[in-house]
Amino acid sequence: MSTRTLPLLFINLGGEMLYILDQRLRAQNIPADKAKKVMNDIITTMFNKKFLEELFKPQELYSKKALRTVFDRLAHASIMRLNQASMDKLYDLMTMAFKYQVLLCPRPKDILLVSFNHMDAIKDFVKDTPSILSQVDETYQQLIEMYTPLSNGEFQLIRQTLLIFFQDMHIRVSIFLKDKVQNSNGRFVLPTNGPVPRGTQIPGLIRIFSCSGEELTRLQFNNGGNYSSALREGSFEMFGNRITKLGTNMYSVSRPVETHMSGTSKSSAQHTKVNSAPNPLAKEELNLLARLMGGLEVQKPGSTDTGFRVNLFATDEEEEEALISRPNELSYGVISIQATKVINSSVHTNYFCREESVQYYILQHILWQPKNILSAIK
Amino acid sequence: MFHKEKSIQLKNSASALYNNLSVLRIAPRRLTYFTVVHANVVNMVSTSWDGLNYSHRQLQSKEPNVATSTSLIMQAAFCALPSRDLLVVSSQKGIQMYESDGSIMVYWHALDTPEAPTAHAVFARGISAVSDNYICVGVSSGAVLVFDIPSKGSNITLSEVLEEHKEAITDIASECSGSQECLANLVTADDGGNMCVWKSGEEFQLLNKIPGLDITCSSVKLWKGTVLAGYGTGQIRLYEAVTGILHAEVNAHARWIYSLDIAPFSGLLLSAAEDSFVRVWHLAITPETNSVEIAHLHNECVTDTQICGAKFCDGDGYAFAVTGYDLSEIIRYVQS
């Protein structure tokens, strides 16, 4: 649908990821200098110039698998390590948070304000590092340039595209359950009270006009909700009060990050079935990965001096248990790839799978061959 | 006034698209068909009137000859013409027309898609039967494609392209098929809220343009010469089609309206929005005296759901059905 959705998806998911990692780094008492290095490394990679260039090109949204692979790589852009279970949980939290924000946006263009909230927080994370700060500022400019001229109808198309991406995801998140913004069935609470969006009137008035334009009658009706007037307009510029709280950091050290795996429904299985249809963009997705990995020094996981592991769960046992008990329908099927050498633009020859030639064969086949192969990837 | 009836389960959930529910009543066979779009699939359910039999079918948006690409569907709608009923599916790649039970595809029209994606998305959206033998489908460029439909067979041809809109078409509506004679029988609406009023024929005639205020008109209906329009601001407006005179303005919803429907025999109007509400209104229009009355009758709140489709199941408005984003069921309401 909309060919301008990917940058917003990436930046907002990235922002959520940083909020969660920041919280975990504090909760696990990782030394401040290491924690800062992790945040700086990830943000530098996120805003890599070549990578963003690729991202901002008009294109269809990537598949869930491809996007998950991008974030997998991003999370490992530094000395921090995450086990499979923790990475799964991190991604669950990121996606459910942004789904919530997209759903709750009063107007479609408020998604841009949500994006600015994330950008503002990212800027704050790197405020002491001028080089990264300038990358972030440049990205603000790109966002403003690309999105502020769009009409409301075009923003709604972006929103509808995002909602298709998030369709059928109902993972329960502790912090949402506690705040009563999510029900126990995983669906978000959509309040029928509160301020109406800017540009909308509180429902309840019927006006009848004569042919010459004068008002003949006024009638009131009961709107069934409890609405109030719109709040003032948020800032769509580099600085300013965004007004909306959506997209701001909802985690603090004391609030744990938890998800509940139970309650997978038939619909999530069907959703993966729909998703396994052939993706003609697989080649472009791998191009993006190439750019991302191109801007990245692969950190060796072995070194115990600088490297450390972050756990998204309370204990190691919990993490292990989560990996074993994760329902099949919710596995992301990450493509495991390791870049060895970037030759030229023909992407498919550059990657040699860590796993054997079987996976490489499958990888090649994503690009050229029918749909059945994709579903073989787990 | 209305109470909830047993829901119809769907094979997958509804996507957040405008006017995402279409209903076709087949009286001779005592059946009703429903269609709901999920990403690149159309879910069809056929229900018997006694409520005992349900059958499901899924149509994929697949263009012939291009086996590897997928395409998201923007809308699926039944078009009831005097001689035949067709199911029209509009997507990013083109327009498919099926027999109304979804069994056979009778026509495929490919959109001009550029080789590399451009900043402006390409898709078809807005579907309506017009008069006795036309089906109109809107395009993201603002063009409206007019297809000439023979009374049977697959010899469907593109008869005209109407180029008045500059923004993506959102919805199309018509009235007066068969024996009725109307001055205007087609209205087309776009992303900027602009509407065009037409008279069908071998060459469609533009009768009037109603300018928008940069507020998307997401759903539109035509009844007794009056345009009923639902907007992104949650307002419903009633305009006299050929003159563009604003007869009524309703602050109807707290969020973007996704669907409007009219029950032509009773004048009941249905509106549904992202605010979780479906509202029923009564319209009284007397074209001779130019008087329009609209009264609010009923609210239904579908808790925690952004509604994307709402349609009456019959011409009197005795029952209506509703779909919502992420919901895998069609909720039904019947008059008490």
pLDDT at B109: 94
- The full 3-state SS of A280-319, as one line of letters, equals CCHHHHHHHHHHHHHCCCCCCCCCCCCCEEECCCCCHHHH
**A289-303, B159-173, B306-320, range with the lowest pLDDT:** A289-303
Q: Is residue A153's pLDDT more than 60? A: yes
In a domain, A45, yes or no: yes
pLDDT at A286: 61
Q: Are A199 and A165 in contact (CB under 8 A)?
A: no
Residue contact A163–B69, C-beta within 8 A: no
Confidence of residue A266 (pLDDT cuts 50, 70, 90): very low
Chain B residues with CB inside 8 Å of A2's CB?
A: 121
pLDDT at A85: 87
Q: How far apart are CA B249 and CA B235, in angstroms?
A: 7
Confidence of residue A283 (pLDDT cuts 50, 70, 90): low
Q: Are A333 and A69 in contact (CB under 8 A)?
A: no
- pLDDT digit string, tens, across residues B245-286: 999 999 999 999 999 999 999 999 999 999 999 999 999 988
Structure tokens at B160: 């005209």
Give me the sign of the Cα torsion angle B196, B200, B202, B206: negative
Task: Quote the minimal CA–CA distance from B119 to chain A in Å.
Answer: 5
pLDDT at A54: 87
Closest by Cα among A87, A97, A92, A95 to A323 = A87
In a domain, A155, yes or no: yes
Q: How far apart are CA A120 and CA A104, in angstroms?
A: 20
Confidence of residue A372 (pLDDT cuts 50, 70, 90): very low
Confidence of residue A264 (pLDDT cuts 50, 70, 90): very low
In a domain, A345, yes or no: no
pLDDT at A281: 44
Higher-confidence residue of A233 and A373: namely: A233
Q: How many CA atoms lie within 13 A of B74 on its CB side?
A: 26
CA of A113: how far to CAs of A176, A192, A348, in Å? 21, 22, 38
pLDDT at A66: 85
Between positions 73 and 132 of B, the ones with CB within 8 A of A are 74, 92, 116-121, 123
Q: How far apart are CA B217 and CA B311, in angstroms?
A: 17
- pLDDT digit string, tens, across residues B130-156: 998 999 999 999 999 999 999 988 899
**A21-35, A151-165, B30-44, range with the lowest pLDDT:** A21-35
Q: How far apart are CA B262 and CA B197, in angstroms?
A: 18
Between positions 279 and 298 of B, the ones with CB within 8 A of A are 290, 292-296
Range of the domain at B17: 2-112+120-335
Q: How far apart are CA A96 and CA A89, in angstroms?
A: 11
Beta partners for residue B33, in sequence order: B24, B46
* A153: exposed, middle or buried (Cβ count in 10 Å: 0-12, 13-18, 19+): buried
pLDDT at B177: 62
* A172: exposed, middle or buried (Cβ count in 10 Å: 0-12, 13-18, 19+): buried
- pLDDT digit string, tens, across residues A182-196: 999 999 999 999 999
Q: How many CB atoms lie within 10 A of CB A238?
A: 14
Rg for chain A, CA atoms, rounded: 22
**A3-7, A179-183, A335-339, B137-141, range with the lowest pLDDT:** A335-339
pLDDT at A365: 33
Task: Quote the minimal CA–CA distance from A113 to chain B in Å.
Answer: 18
Structure tokens at A44: 């530098």
Confidence of residue A359 (pLDDT cuts 50, 70, 90): very low
pLDDT at B117: 81
Which among A34-38, A115-119, A254-258 has the top mean pLDDT?
A115-119
Q: How many CA atoms lie within 13 A of A114 on its CB side?
A: 28
Q: How many domains does chain B have?
A: 1
**A352-366, B194-208, B320-334, range with the lowest pLDDT:** A352-366
Chain A residues with CB inside 8 Å of B301's CB?
A: 192, 224-225
Mean pLDDT, rounded, for A44-60: 89
If you measure CA to CA, which chain A residue comes closest to B250?
A: A206
pTM listed for this prediction: 0.87
Q: Is residue A14's pLDDT more than 70? A: yes
Q: How far apart are CA A47 and CA A133, in angstroms?
A: 10
Q: Phi and psi for A267 in degrees, rounded to 5?
A: -65, -30
Mean pLDDT, rounded, for B326-331: 96
Residue contact A190–B306, C-beta within 8 A: yes
Mean pLDDT, rounded, for A198-225: 94
Chain B residues with CB inside 8 Å of A96's CB?
A: none
Residue contact B256–A156, C-beta within 8 A: yes
Residue in the structure block whose two tokens are 């899924």: B58
Closest by Cα among A337, A253, A163, A293 to B308 = A163
If you measure CA to CA, which chain B residue comes closest to A154?
A: B191
* CB contact set of A159 (below 8 Å; sequence gap of 6+): A102, A105, A108, A111, B16
Average pLDDT of chain A to the nearest whole number:
78
H-helix segments, chain B: none
Which among A29-38, A189-198, A323-332 has the top mean pLDDT?
A189-198
Residue contact B275–A192, C-beta within 8 A: yes
In a domain, A44, yes or no: yes
Higher-confidence residue of B334 and A49: namely: B334
**A230-244, B53-67, B167-181, range with the lowest pLDDT:** B53-67
Q: Is residue B326's pLDDT more than 70? A: yes
Q: Are A136 and A50 in contact (CB under 8 A)?
A: no
- One DSSP character per residue, B125-146 reads EEEEEETTTEEEEEETTS-EEE
In a domain, A159, yes or no: yes
Structure tokens at A141: 């400019």
pLDDT at A297: 45
With residue A356 as reference, give the H or E element that holds it: none
In a domain, A199, yes or no: no
pLDDT at B111: 92
* Strand, coil or helix: B65: coil
Confidence of residue A374 (pLDDT cuts 50, 70, 90): very low
Q: Is residue B321's pLDDT more than 90? A: yes
Confidence of residue A282 (pLDDT cuts 50, 70, 90): low
Range of the domain at A37: 5-190+239-253+306-339
What share of chain B has pLDDT > 90, as a percent? 82
Residue in the structure block whose two tokens are 């303005």: B249
For A186, which DSSP code?
S
Residue in the structure block whose two tokens are 């019927």: A206
Nearest CB partner across the interface for B249, out of A108, A183, A207: A207
Q: How far apart are CA B301 and CA A323, in angstroms?
A: 39
What share of chain A has pLDDT > 70, as a percent? 72
Q: What share of chain B is helix, strand, coil (3-state, %, to 5)?
A: 0, 55, 45
Q: Are A98 and A12 in contact (CB under 8 A)?
A: yes
Higher-confidence residue of B24 and A277: namely: B24
Nearest CB partner across the interface for B121, out of A3, A183, A370: A3
CA of B24: how far to CAs of A241, B30, B321, B322, in Å? 49, 11, 12, 14
Q: Is residue A275's pLDDT more than 80? A: no
In a domain, A52, yes or no: yes
Confidence of residue B182 (pLDDT cuts 50, 70, 90): confident
- One DSSP character per residue, B85-111 reads EEEEEEESSEEEEEETTSS-EEEEEE-
Q: How many domains does chain A have?
A: 1
In a domain, A261, yes or no: no
Higher-confidence residue of B52 and B329: namely: B329
What CATH number does residue B59 fall under? 2.130.10.10
- The full 3-state SS of A106-126, as one line of letters, equals CCCCHHHHHHHHHHHHHHHHC
- pLDDT digit string, tens, across residues A87-142: 999 999 999 999 999 999 999 999 999 999 999 999 999 988 999 999 999 999 99
